[in-house]
Amino acid sequence: MRTIFTILLFSSLLFSYQKGDIVSSEIKDKLEMKDNKIYVIDFFASWCASCKREMPYLSKVNDTIDKSKIELIGIDVDEDLKKGQTFQKELREAKKLNFRVVDDPKGEIVKLFEPVGMPGLYIVKDGKVVDFLFGARDNIDKLLLDVLKEL
C-alpha cells in the first residue's frame, strides 16, 4: 500500500525527463536531433511573459556558441498555432529570436518532457538529458553558458 502511494505521489516525476534520462527516438526524429551534438531545448509560449523576456538572452547565447557542436531549439507550446507563429514572427522581426522553432500545439513533445515551470530549458547531450533550468532566471545567458562550458 505504501509503495503504491509513493508511486502515485511521484508519478509525475516518473514520467517526466530527469537528469540522465535518454530522450526517445520519437522526440529525436521530431526535433531532427543528431547524437553527436549538444542541444538546448527551450519550451516557451506567447502568453508566458518570462519566456518573452528570456528570448533575447537565448538568442545572444546562440550568437556566441559553436553551432557545429551546440544547437538551440525552441518549442512553442501555444495551443493556438496562429497566435504562436505570430508571436515568433514578432520576435524574429525585433531580432529577439534567431534559432529554429518547432511548433507543438497539441503538446506532444512537452508532455514527454513535462517541465515543472515555464520557460523550461533542457540541455541534451548524446541523446541524454544532462541538465535543466526552469522558470524566470536572472542572467540566464550566463547561467546557460556556464552549463554548456562544463559539458
Partner 1 sequence: MRTLYLSLVITLFGGCSIKDVKPWEKGTLAKETMREGGGDVLFKKFANHIYFSKEGSKGGGGVAGGGCGCN
Interface residue list for partner 1 (CB under 8 A): 43, 45-52, 77-80, 107, 110, 114-120, 134-137
Q: Whose Cβ is closer to partner 1: residue 115's or residue 127's?
A: 115
Q: Whose Cβ is closer to partner 1: residue 51's or residue 73's?
A: 51
Contacts of 139 (CB under 8 A, 6+ apart): 57
Least separation, in Å, of the C-beta of 24 and partner 1?
18
Least separation, in Å, of the C-beta of 9 and partner 1?
13
Q: Whose Cβ is closer to partner 1: residue 71's or residue 104's?
A: 104
Least separation, in Å, of the C-beta of 145 and partner 1?
21
**HEC sequence for 33-85:** CCCCCEEEEEEECCCCHHHHHHHHHHHHHHHHCCCCCEEEEEEECCCCHHHHH
Q: Whose Cβ is closer to partner 1: residue 120's or residue 127's?
A: 120
Residue 67 C-alpha from the chain's centroid: 17
Least separation, in Å, of the C-beta of 30 and partner 1?
16
User: Comparing C-alpha atoms, which of 36, 22, 99 is closest to residue 62?
Assistant: 99
Q: Whose Cβ is closer to partner 1: residue 138's or residue 150's?
A: 138
Contacts of 61 (CB under 8 A, 6+ apart): 40, 72, 141, 144, 145, 148
Least separation, in Å, of the C-beta of 117 and partner 1?
4
